[in-house]
């Protein structure tokens, strides 16, 4: 079985309505010659394992700030170097994966993630933290391009809806698992900045075994064009990519704020730096991001994108309420709504692309969606961090919320205005 075979487009007899609906978790077992259904689930595990590392450091920043000593602005730079590594990786990994195969990209990515684990565990300077975050971003870039496309490959043409759902939920569930483990283990286990990365290294080692046995192989053709380029999609699919980014980018930026500056804001409101609280809040945020995708999976994609935009707007309203009232419950509500915004924006964007992008361009298309999302998620929280150093965390948070409300609302308006252009034509 090759990548080209496993990612072929749905047969013409399949209705466009089904193509433009998000993935459903139901479906028959695979026909002879197609990977068993359980392999579709298992192939999503490396994505979850890498994303667990992506946010594992979140509750630990307050410890490193205390021990090493750095400002809120430097903290957001450390966080943003992850975005730099991720975007740089996406400029390469999508094309390489489509041309040379998923395993060619995933094996080195997992090794690099293991190295990042060792660096986090031994971190004694800002430079080491920066390098670890950069390596983490590179490995995550491989996961969102090659890893998520591998799930679609293994699922085959008849299970693209299930594959899109599993790939998307593996990403957000893993992103929430990391900070929860870090918060709990750093409070209860010895070595508060070491133990969690030992556990994470074990998950990554298991992911290497999964990739080794994964039922995908190299594609038949290596394609053409530059190997390093801004990810793109075929001309007919550009509107779908833009719509996905318009909602996904504000959603993931909201969750990125919670991950980077949320623990500091929580500490200022609670007067406590309990890492289990910060890690638990991040975990629940991504758990909601996972659950909401199952809850809305049968809605039309435009409706999911609209709801995602609304959730992000409401998240920032709740964030403002937390600052004005100096209260924790609105902050928790803001995190939950941010999770809804990212989850629905991500599911809607992936569903649009999976429905029409050819298999030999799918990893590059996934990379394009994430470049658009993470570019905003990397820049806006950093600017907010440095602004907070100048005017205070509360004022910086308010400015961030206003900007994101405008961007999310604009995304929702764009989806509404162009809905007819992506609505399916009823089958005859």
- In this model, does residue 12 exceed pLDDT 80? no
Q: Where is pLDDT greater, at 15 or 383?
A: 383
Give residue-wise pLDDT tens across range 28-60.
444 545 677 788 888 989 999 999 998 888 778
pLDDT for the residue numbered 261: 67
Q: How many CA atoms lie within 13 A of 415 on its CB side?
A: 28
Other Cβ atoms less than 10 A from the Cβ of 303: the count is 15
pLDDT for the residue numbered 272: 57
User: Mean pLDDT throughout 301-318?
Assistant: 95
Distance CA 329, CA 334 (A): 9
CB contact at 8 A, 385 and 396: yes
Find the DSSP H helices in 231-361: 238-260, 262-270, 275-295, 301-325, 328-356
Q: Where are the domains of the chain?
A: 38-220+234-422
Lowest mean pLDDT among 260-264, 313-317, 387-391: 260-264
Give residue-wise pLDDT tens across range 245-284.
999 999 999 988 877 666 666 666 656 556 677 677 778 8
CB contact at 8 A, 54 and 178: yes
The CA distances from residue 195 to 56, 60, 127, 141, in Å, are: 11, 12, 21, 25
Tokens of 415: 């989806």
- In this model, does residue 359 exceed pLDDT 80? no
Give residue-wise pLDDT tens across range 141-193.
888 888 888 888 887 777 777 777 888 888 888 888 888 888 888 888 888 88
- In this model, does residue 27 exceed pLDDT 60? no
Tokens of 267: 């500490």
- In this model, does residue 139 exceed pLDDT 90? yes
pTM: 0.71
- Model confidence at 24, pLDDT cuts 50, 70, 90, reads very low
Q: Where is pLDDT greater, at 412 or 238?
A: 412
Tokens of 24: 């459903």
- In this model, does residue 16 exceed pLDDT 70? no
CB contact at 8 A, 46 and 211: yes
Angle separating helix axes 45-55 and 126-142, nearest 10 degrees: 160
Who's near 100: CB < 8 A, 6+ residues apart? 218, 219, 222
- In this model, does residue 428 exceed pLDDT 50? no
- In this model, does residue 61 exceed pLDDT 60? yes
- Tell me the DSSP string of 153-192: HHH-GGGHHHHHHHHHHHHHHHHHHHHHHHHHHHHHSSST
- Model confidence at 388, pLDDT cuts 50, 70, 90, reads confident
Q: Where is pLDDT greater, at 323 or 27?
A: 323
- Model confidence at 7, pLDDT cuts 50, 70, 90, reads very low
By three-state DSSP, how is residue 235 classified? helix
pLDDT for the residue numbered 77: 82
Distance CA 296, CA 169 (A): 13
How would CATH label the architecture of 38-220+234-422? Up-down Bundle (1.20)
Nearest to 377 by CA among 100, 111, 41, 144: 144
- Among 22-36, 90-104, 260-274, 305-319, the range with the most confident prediction by mean pLDDT is 305-319
User: Mean pLDDT throughout 14-18?
Assistant: 42
Average pLDDT of the chain is: 81
Distance CA 418, CA 355 (A): 17
Give residue-wise pLDDT tens across range 208-242.
999 998 887 776 655 566 677 777 788 888 888 89
Distance CA 105, CA 382 (A): 29
Tokens of 309: 């935009």
């Amino acid at each position: 079985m090759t990548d080209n075979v496993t990612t072929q487009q749905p047969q013409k007899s399949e209705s466009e309505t089904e193509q433009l609906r998000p993935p459903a978790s139901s479906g028959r077992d695979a026909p002879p010659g197609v990977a068993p259904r359980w392999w579709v689930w298992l192939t999503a595990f490396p994505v979850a394992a890498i994303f667990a590392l992506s946010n594992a450091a979140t509750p630990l920043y307050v410890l490193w700030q205390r021990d090493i000593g750095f400002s809120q602005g430097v903290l957001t730079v450390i966080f943003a170097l992850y975005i730099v590594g991720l975007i740089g990786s996406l400029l390469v990994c999508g094309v390489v994966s489509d041309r040379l195969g998923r395993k060619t990209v995933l094996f080195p990515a997992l090794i690099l993630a293991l190295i990042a684990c060792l660096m986090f565990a031994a971190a004694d300077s800002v430079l080491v933290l920066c390098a670890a975050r950069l390596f983490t971003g590179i490995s995550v870039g491989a996961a969102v391009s090659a890893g998520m496309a591998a799930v679609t490959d293994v699922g085959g043409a008849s299970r693209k809806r299930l594959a899109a759902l599993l790939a998307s939920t593996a990403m957000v569930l893993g992103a929430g698992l990391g900070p929860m483990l870090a918060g709990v283990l750093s409070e209860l286990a010895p070595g508060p900045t070491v133990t969690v990365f030992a556990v994470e290294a074990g998950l990554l080692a298991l992911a290497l075994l999964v990739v080794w046995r994964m039922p995908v192989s190299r594609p038949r053709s290596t394609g053409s064009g530059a190997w390093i380029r801004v990810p793109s999609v075929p001309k007919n699919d550009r509107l779908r990519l833009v719509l996905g980014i318009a909602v996904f980018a504000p959603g993931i930026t909201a969750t990125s704020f919670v991950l980077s500056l949320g623990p500091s804001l929580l500490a200022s409101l609670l007067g406590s730096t309990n890492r289990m609280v910060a890690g638990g809040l991040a975990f629940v945020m991504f758990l909601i991001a996972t659950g909401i995708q199952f809850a809305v999976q049968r809605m039309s994609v435009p409706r999911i994108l609209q709801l995602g935009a609304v959730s992000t707007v409401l998240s920032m309203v709740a964030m403002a309420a937390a600052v004005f009232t100096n209260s924790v419950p609105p902050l928790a509500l803001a995190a939950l709504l941010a999770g809804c915004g990212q989850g629905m924006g991500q599911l809607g964007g992936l569903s649009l692309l999976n429905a029409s992008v050819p298999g030999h361009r799918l990893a590059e298309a996934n990379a394009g969606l994430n470049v658009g999302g993470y570019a905003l998620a990397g820049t806006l929280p950093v600017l907010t961090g440095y602004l907070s150093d100048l005017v205070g965390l509360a004022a910086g948070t308010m400015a961030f919320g206003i900007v994101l409300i405008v961007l999310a609302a604009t995304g929702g308006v764009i989806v509404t205005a162009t809905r007819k252009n992506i609505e399916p034509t009823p089958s005859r």
